Amino acid sequence: MSDLQGKRIALACWRRATELAQGIEKLGGIPLRRPTMRTLSAESDPELQHTVAQLVGEGADWFLFTTGTGVRALVDIADRIGCRAEFVQLLHHARVAARGYKTAHALRQLGISNIVRDRDGTVASLLAALDEYDLNGTHIAVQAPGEPMPEVILWAHHRQARVTEILPYRHVPTAPEELETLLEEILRGQLDAVLFTSPPQVRFLWDFAQSRSREDALQKAFQELVLAVAVGHVTAEALIARGVSRVITPPSERMGAALVALAQFFSRHTPLEGPSP
């Protein structure tokens, strides 16, 4: 019998939910799609297209990318307005910083390998890696991960750099009725685990619970009834910051690894034992 046999696993993600659901089913589990957010593309936004065209025309000294999706989205925008080759050439001539292995991989697919990298998948560690560079008077293009990054803008201004922030997509909460369904299932212990793949998924769920004055009950449910699973440690930190100390996190930030870690947990614990750190 598989270690996920009969386990009800809610997926808080929207992207790649099909892939995760298939993985859960192969392990005998029951996947439930419960996205807490949606990601809206801004590729057809004329203002964003103008920003990309302006970057191609004026250039930039640095590009700071935070997601692989953002890399691909900006290339697609450049392609849409007829300057893909020029945009990629711009990246080759500029200095490039990347947060996360997926981001670095997307850049390497464009032939860009000389990349300043983070240490642990966080924006903070990426900025720390950039501290050794003189950014005074430079122009930095920052690809934001679905929502503005005021802390990065402030950091760049303190370094006397000019910043162009780009949001090729935006994260928004899913419909209230969908959030209500997930919240009720967690509070009633009707799930065995909830799998999160990014910090905004955690934030939107907690924001919704807070709007119903149920955030304390949500925290308690994750401590006693339902297991929280985070694909990466940055997402795990978002849960821990909200008082959830028992979080399953795989050693490598891969979705498949998260399912393996979850299956291993259930193989070691009976339902009566509950989750452990």
User: DSSP 3-state helix, strand, coil percentages of the chain (rounded to 5)?
Assistant: 45, 20, 35
**Number of helices and strands in the chain (H, E):** 12, 12
Q: Are residues 82 and 202 in the same domain?
A: no
Q: What's the CA gap between 13 and 205, in Å, rounded? A: 11
Q: Are residues 181 and 221 in the same domain?
A: yes
| CATH number of the domain to which 130 belongs | 3.40.50.10090
Burial bucket for residue 167 (CB in 10 Å: 0-12, 13-18, 19+): buried
Instruction: Report the pLDDT value the prediction gives residue 268, as an integer from 0 to 100.
Output: 82
List, in sequence order, every beta strand (DSSP E) within the chain.
8-11, 30-33, 37-41, 62-65, 95-98, 115-117, 139-143, 162-166, 169-173, 193-196, 227-230, 247-248
Instruction: Report the pLDDT value the prediction gives residue 275, as an integer from 0 to 100.
Output: 42
Q: What's the CA gap between 163 and 274, in Å, rounded? A: 48
Q: Are residues 209 and 166 in the same domain?
A: no
Instruction: Report the pLDDT value the prediction gives residue 271, as an integer from 0 to 100.
Output: 52
Q: Are residues 188 and 238 in the same domain?
A: yes
Closest alpha carbon to 164 in 139, 189, 181: 139
The residues pairing with 40 across neighbouring beta strands, listed in sequence order, are 170
Instruction: Report the pLDDT value the prediction gives residue 269, as an integer from 0 to 100.
Output: 73
Residues 145/70, Cβ–Cβ less than 8 Å: yes
Q: Are residues 57 and 164 in the same domain?
A: yes
Write out the two tokens for 126. 């990426």
From first to last of the 277 residues of the chain, give the pLDDT tens digit: 468 999 999 999 987 889 999 999 999 999 999 999 999 999 899 999 999 999 999 999 999 999 999 999 999 999 999 999 999 999 999 999 999 888 999 999 999 988 899 988 889 999 999 999 999 999 999 999 999 999 999 999 999 999 999 999 999 999 999 999 999 999 999 999 999 999 999 999 999 999 999 999 999 999 999 999 999 888 999 999 999 999 999 988 788 899 999 999 998 875 534 443 4
Q: Are residues 254 and 188 in the same domain?
A: yes
Q: Are residues 184 and 256 in the same domain?
A: yes
Backbone angles phi, psi at 37, to 5 degrees: -155, 165
Q: Are residues 19 and 103 in the same domain?
A: no
Q: What's the CA gap between 37 and 172, in Å, rounded? A: 5
Residues 6+ apart with CB under 8 A from 137: 160, 161, 162
Q: Does residue 71 belong to any structural domain of this protein?
A: yes
Q: Does residue 216 belong to any structural domain of this protein?
A: yes
Q: Are residues 46 and 166 in the same domain?
A: yes
User: Domain range for residue 251?
Assistant: 8-36+174-268
Q: How many domains does the chain have?
A: 2
Dihedral over alpha carbons 38, 222, 208, 48 (to 10 degrees)? -30
Q: Are residues 161 and 191 in the same domain?
A: no
Instruction: Report the pLDDT value the prediction gives residue 273, as an integer from 0 to 100.
Output: 46
Q: Are residues 32 and 80 in the same domain?
A: no
Q: Does residue 142 belong to any structural domain of this protein?
A: yes
Among 108, 141, 170, identify where a domain stops: 170
